[in-house]
């Protein structure tokens, strides 16, 4: 596999913005096929359509659940995961219950992650657990989550949704998303069988290469086309 192919297979092409239409879904799935990325990551209602568009390709279908704020009950997250798998998703990106983590109810957090992981695995899907590092900011909490995910059988730990907006002093909202220190921390404190996915703010080839160096093996991206076109120019086909 060439370096360009390896980089393409790092990317989960994100099709998650709330305003995206069915036409947008079709276009972005075609982008994913063109560049032969690892997967698309779509909203729950779009799984069936995405699976149909990508049939016969090597691009997998992933789906978010409890997205973007993780506030659904565990039972609802279970139902979302089951439906997504039934409709063709083979990768599930779940958001933890952020409030429970911030409140220190680690038993709840671990039980929920294990429940979702078990459901996904019983449906031949993998699970990526989103911490939302714009909200979970203390290193000790991130480390605790890495340990929990390792015990619970998660396949990936993931930094962010890309929608973890924080109110700024001027009254506007923004997010940082994935950072190199967070990826390095997650790689260090997760078990060897648990992989790391970065997401949020990975917009350039240099961003992707830096995250790869830090220990990420997957990255969410919306700028897939520009990243991989730049990779083709820099490294060749």
Catalytic residues: 93, 158, 197
Which residue carries 């998303």 as its tokens?
Answer: 177
With b for 16 or more beta-carbon neighbours within 10 A and e for fewer, the 59-84 pattern comes to: bbbbbbbbbbebebeeeebbebbbbb
C-alpha dist (Å) from residue 221 to 16, 133, 164, 177, 230: 10, 17, 15, 11, 14
Q: Alpha-carbon dihedral of residues 123, 110, 77, 73, nearest 10 degrees?
A: 150
Distance CA 139, CA 181 (A): 10
Contact predicate 132/163, CB 8 Å: no
Contact predicate 86/114, CB 8 Å: no
Distance CA 106, CA 88 (A): 31
Distance CA 116, CA 191 (A): 18
Strands 173-174 and 166-167, by their bridges, are: antiparallel
Q: Which residues pair with 107 in a beta bridge?
A: none
């Amino acid at each position: 596999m060439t370096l360009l192919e390896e980089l393409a297979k790092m990317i989960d092409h994100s099709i998650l913005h709330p305003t995206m239409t069915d036409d947008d879904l079709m276009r972005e799935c075609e982008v994913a096929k063109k560049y032969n990325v690892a997967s698309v990551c779509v909203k729950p209602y779009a799984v069936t359509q995405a699976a149909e568009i990508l049939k016969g390709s090597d691009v997998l279908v992933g789906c978010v659940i409890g997205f973007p704020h993780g506030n659904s009950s565990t039972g609802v997250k279970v139902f979302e995961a089951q439906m997504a798998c039934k409709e063709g998703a083979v990768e599930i990106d779940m958001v933890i219950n952020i409030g429970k983590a911030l409140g220190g109810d680690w038993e709840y957090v671990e039980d929920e992650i294990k429940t979702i992981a078990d459901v996904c695995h019983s449906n031949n899907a993998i699970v990526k657990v989103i911490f939302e590092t714009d909200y979970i900011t203390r290193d000790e909490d991130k480390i605790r989550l890495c340990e929990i995910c390792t015990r619970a059988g998660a396949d990936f730990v993931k930094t962010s949704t890309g929608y973890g907006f924080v109110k700024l002093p001027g009254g506007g909202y923004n997010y940082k998303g994935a950072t190199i220190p967070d990826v390095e921390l997650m790689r260090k404190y997760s078990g060897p069988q648990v992989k790391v996915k970065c997401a949020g703010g990975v917009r350039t080839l240099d961003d992707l290469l830096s995250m790869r160096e830090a220990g990420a093996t997957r990255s969410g991206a919306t700028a897939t086309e520009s990243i991989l076109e730049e990779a083709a120019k820099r490294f060749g086909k």
